[in-house]
Amino acid sequence: MSSIKIESVVKEKNRMGECPVWEERENALVYVDINSQKVCRWNSVTNEVHSVSVDDRVGSVALRKSGGYVIALGTRFAFLNWEMESVTTITKLEHDKPNNRFNDGKVDPKGRFFAGTMAEETQPGVRARCQGALYTLFPDYSVVKQLDQVDISNGLDWSLDHRTFFHIDSLAYAVHAYDYNVHTGKIVLYQLEKEEQMLDGMCIDAEGKLWVACIDGGRVIRIDPETGKRIQTVKLPASRITSCCFGGKDYSEMYVTSAYDGLDQAALAKEPRAGEIFKVTGFCFFQLKDLNILGWLVLVQIWCAWSRFKCTCILMFLDCHVLYSCLFNLLALILLIC
């Protein structure tokens, strides 16, 4: 069994920390603080946090191959030049919905930027329903609306074979799956249990399992998309858990963002670490460095299937001595692949 370890790596408080992305070339975690209107970058080597302020609430950030970032802020897509601290608008959407803003976003396996919108609250706990949508920004800067009538477009990711798209509409209290290319056959994968509150951001691990942040639930949960069952829970020292991603040198570390907005003074006194960013280690699986490295992915999947078949045969036909030898060789193979 794994021994989960949780530590706070960014002590600087975030009003609404969200959308963590690991930037390998900088050994850094990039994320946004939505309500503070800034994009932040924590350097894992120097432990320093730098940020760039923008002119609207920024829901999500993604890496550009050429350097810099693409962001979704207000109701527009834009480029962020980190060195110049400048924002260049690509396009503005939803001119007829002044109370909307972009929320979570992520780049798909082919480099297209998906991001969704939501209506802001007009007063605490009150917002217009079904005002949001999910959009795709293509490399040629064209934009396509993928989903409509969304309440709070939130966590999103793709299956390891890239054939299934997972999406969270927070007020639906469920994760939905779509055939990736034609967006048909919506399936409700996971219905929340009471203590998990509302689903927020999401990522996927090397075994194809989903990790979902539960805002106001104080945890991230691991879900098997094949069965819709929760298979692991990691509780964190803050209730408003917003999103997660894998990072670090070998991508074996999970980074989890949180928020302190929405907590009153009494709640903040009980949660001194609210708004910090946490690192979770000690998982029993290894994480793939890049989901786009399809050759390695196929190799690992074939190896896993063969290992399960081989061990089944051994259990049926061989004695314990040979079994121990097989397990030793299997462990050596795991270490070699890692």
Find out whether 154 is annotated in a ligand binding site.
Answer: yes
φ, ψ (nearest 5 deg) of residue 129: -90, 150
Selection from 252, 313, 335 nearest residue 287 by Cα = 252
SS3 call for 197: coil
Find out whether 329 is annotated in a ligand binding site.
Answer: no
Find out whether 292 is annotated in a ligand binding site.
Answer: no
Selection from 9, 46, 75, 58 nearest residue 258 by Cα = 9
Structure tokens at 239: 């209730």
Out of 33, 104, 157, 200, the active site residue is 200
Find out whether 43 is annotated in a ligand binding site.
Answer: no
DSSP bridge pairs for 229: 224
SS3 call for 294: helix
Number of alpha carbons in the 13 Å side-chain half-sphere of residue 96: 2
Contacts for 233 with CB less than 8 Å, ≥ 6 apart: 219, 220, 221, 222
DSSP bridge pairs for 137: 113, 143
210-217 contact pairs (CB < 8 A, 24+): 210/157, 210/166, 210/175, 211/244, 211/254, 212/155, 212/168, 212/175, 213/155, 213/241, 213/242, 213/243, 213/244, 213/256, 213/257, 214/241, 215/170, 215/240, 215/241, 215/242, 215/259, 216/240, 216/262, 217/241
200 is catalytic: yes
Selection from 150, 196, 155, 149 nearest residue 175 by Cα = 155
Selection from 193, 149, 148, 146 nearest residue 173 by Cα = 193
Binding residues for substrate: 101, 103, 121
Which residues are the active-site residues? 200
Binding residue ranges for a divalent metal cation: 18, 154, 200
Indicate the annotated binding residues. 18, 101, 103, 121, 154, 200
